């Protein structure tokens, strides 16, 4: 599967060689544990995001972000926010105007 990610703000990315990482994790249990914990955190975030789409309306998703990550609403463009919430930009504008 090929995909790309575009950052909307400055970040530091770290790229690992899978083969070398696997070798190191076999030699050092602490690295294996760290890797497992990182993967668990990623899975938890993805599960929460998926649940948000299944259980909440677009209005509720926006309100959830207002409560749990208000800084995100200030950092990203309306187009990016609409995409993240899974709605058209016009729908997001309607949601915001009702507030």
Alpha carbon distance 96, 26 (integer Å): 50
Would the pTM of this model clear 0.85, i.e. be above it? no
Give the count of beta carbons closer than 10 Å to the beta carbon of residue 2. Answer: 3
Alpha carbon distance 62, 70 (integer Å): 10
Alpha carbon distance 57, 13 (integer Å): 33
pLDDT, residue 8, reads 82
Confidence of residue 1 (pLDDT cuts 50, 70, 90): confident
Exposure on the CB side of residue 62, measured as CA atoms within 13 A: 22
């Amino acid at each position: 599967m090929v995909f790309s990610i575009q950052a909307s703000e400055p970040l530091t990315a770290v790229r690992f060689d899978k083969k070398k990482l696997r070798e190191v994790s076999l030699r050092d249990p602490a690295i294996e544990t760290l890797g497992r914990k990182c993967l668990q955190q990623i899975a938890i975030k993805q599960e929460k995001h998926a649940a948000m789409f299944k259980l909440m309306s677009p209005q509720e998703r926006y309100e959830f972000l207002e409560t749990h990550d208000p800084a995100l609403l200030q950092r990203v463009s309306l187009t990016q926010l609409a995409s993240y919430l899974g709605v058209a930009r016009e729908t997001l504008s309607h949601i915001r105007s009702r507030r």
